[in-house]
Amino acid sequence: MSTAPDPEPRTPKPSLVFDDPLDQQSSDDTDRGWGERAGADGADSAADLKRFLDEKPPHHL
């Protein structure tokens, strides 16, 4: 008769979280990163025109 090997200790499985994901704020819920440029305060119309021309799609020539 053979003896069974000692069972290895089990690592606990990660638990499932059933929280509502809509209760948490995501990075899209903030205004940060939505087209702002460093140092732009909106008062310089020449900078706005340059940005418009830089970001204009090529089919809008």
1-48: per-residue pLDDT in tens? 567 777 777 788 878 888 888 888 877 777 776 666 655 555 678 888
Distance of CA 27 to the CA centre of its chain: 5
pTM higher than 0.85 for the full model? no
What pLDDT does 36 receive? 62
Question: What region does 4 belong to: left with phi over 0, alpha with psi -120 to 50, or beta?
Answer: beta
| pLDDT score at 43 | 60
Q: What is the pLDDT of residue 54?
A: 87
Q: Is 49's pLDDT higher than 70?
A: yes
pLDDT at 60 over 80: no
* Rounded-to-integer distance, Cα 46 and Cα 48, Å: 5
